[in-house]
Amino acid sequence: MLVRKMCENDIPFVHEIEVNTFSDPWSRDDFKKSILDVNNLYLVVEENNEILGYCGFWGVVGEGQINNVAVKESVRGRGIARIMLNSLIQKGKEQGLEAFTLEVRVNNHPAISLYHSLGFKDAGIRKNFYEKPVEDALIMWL
């Protein structure tokens, strides 16, 4: 598996995973704007020329707001999200980021468990943060 910076040519493949993962997916243009911003970093995991997952952060005043952590359903359970996030956090630290935050659905227990294992701590709840269906978000910090 290769972890590398997302490029514009990856967006159609990333968007397909996004649409199949999230009930309120980002558009292709959302990804394009995010990867073109020099404060942000988005990564993909590739194997045999196939995009298996992606993640990224918006860099804001020494902190990384992690967005869009997703792995293709057919390859989940192989540790791809852990590999991506470890790389993302390391690269963020190399860029001078000192902290990372994210929101996750309170009922997404596999993701919460992964984030805890990476050192993230629970910091609070955002009521009704998600739509489709409406659900609270757990705020986590590293």
Cα–Cα distance for residue pair 67/76, rounded to 1 Å: 18
Structure tokens at 31: 């990804």
Active-site residue flag, 130: no
Per annotation, catalytic residue among 63, 115, 131, 135: 115
Beta bridge partners of 122: 140
Spatial CB neighbours of 125, under 8 Å, sequence gap ≥ 6: 106, 136, 137, 138, 139
Distance separating alpha carbons of residues 48 and 22, to the nearest angstrom: 25
> Which of 98, 103, 130, 131 is an active site residue?
103
How many helices (H) and strands (E) the chain has is answered by: 4, 7
Q: Which residues are catalytic?
A: 103, 115
